[in-house]
Structure 1
Amino acid sequence: MRQFIAETCSRLLQRLHAVRWLGPLVVRLVFGYFWLETGIAKVHNLDGFTQRFVGWGIPFPAFSAGLSAWTELLGGLLLMLGLFTRLVTIPMIINMIVAVTLVVSSNLMGLDDYVEADEVVYTLIFLWFLIAGPGKASLDTLVARWLRIRTQD
């Protein structure tokens, strides 16, 4: 029985290893689409979004709102494509740090609140993409192959 379980687990792990490229692809597509969609909505209602920045007391509200909205839109698109993935996560992380610092933190009372804040989770996902990269099924991987750059994937 022990041998059967070991062999079954081994076969399952081999199959999962063969499709390990699928995890980053699915997360990139869904997470990127989320940011693309929110960015489009904010760009289309930039006046309303700017008024929210005014209410939050964010400096240079018109400029900051536009920068934030376009960062989300373009960042989401590039993340979905897997193009400049590591580079695009940097402004996305900055966007989330600003959101946590200037907007969300006033409603958070303790460590549990911070851990449960959406913006903190988003920051961690962006950090994962910054460190791990986009995965094999990405334009970044195709460009790296074309340039003959070795990757760990």
Structure 2
Amino acid sequence: MQTTPLLARMLTFLDDHAWIGPLLLRLVFGYFWLETGWAKLHNLAFFTERFIEWGIPWPALSAAVCAGTEFIGGVLMMLGLATRLTMLPMIFNMLVALAVVVLPGVSTLDEFVELDEVLYVAVFVWLLVAGPGRASLDHLIARRVKAGTPALA
């Protein structure tokens, strides 16, 4: 298929600026998790009660770990630092929420795919597989290591 000069320029522009998509996603999604984690950390008693209601083992410890995972995960996601490693506990956190809290009330595929938690897991998996993109500390560190320059020099 032949492209017009305008379309070719637009595609080149989009290719040259592809780093904006992952950056925007990380900033917005990371802030969301930072904020939810912060709120849970500052209301751990209530959050622990919810874990007791849901039957989650070691509710006080589990609530604190969950809240801390969301807060620290959000910060690291925004920075694009240890992104792939960070996605592992974030995915685990959401899979537990899905299995214990949300899925018992779901009876159809339509209900399942409309769950926020499914979207969250999908984004976490995408970041795990694709990485944080060029506008990230991970990329900067990798570039310096590859060039033989100490990463934090």
- With 26-35 and 57-66 compared, the bigger mean Cα shift is at 57-66
| 1:110 positional shift | 1.1
Structure 2: tracts of 5 or more residues without a match: 148-153
How far, CA to CA, are the matches of 2:89 and 2:30 in structure 1?
14
Q: Among all aligned residue pairs of Structure 1 and Structure 2, give the percentage whose two residues are the same amino acid.
A: 55
Aligned match of 2:48: 50
- RMSD between aligned residues: 1.4
Aligned match of 2:136: 138
How far, CA to CA, are the matches of 2:105 and 2:116 in structure 1?
13
Matching residue's letter, 1:25 = L
Aligned match of 2:22: 24
Matching residue's letter, 1:104 = V
Number of aligned pairs?
A: 147
- Cα deviation 1:10-43 (Å, max 9, x = unaligned): 1110111110000000000000000000000000
Aligned match of 1:35: 33
How far, CA to CA, are the matches of 1:72 and 1:28 in structure 2?
14
Aligned match of 1:123: 121
| 1:6 positional shift | 2.0
Q: TM-score, normalised by structure 2?
A: 0.93
- Cα deviation 1:105-125 (Å, max 9, x = unaligned): 122111111101000100000
| 1:7 positional shift | 1.9
- Cα deviation 1:20-70 (Å, max 9, x = unaligned): 000000000000000000000000000100000001111111111011000
Alignment of 1:78-97 (within 5 A): 78-97=76-95
How far, CA to CA, are the matches of 1:114 and 1:8 in structure 2?
42
1:100 equivalent among 98, 101, 104: 98
Aligned match of 2:151: none
Aligned match of 2:150: none
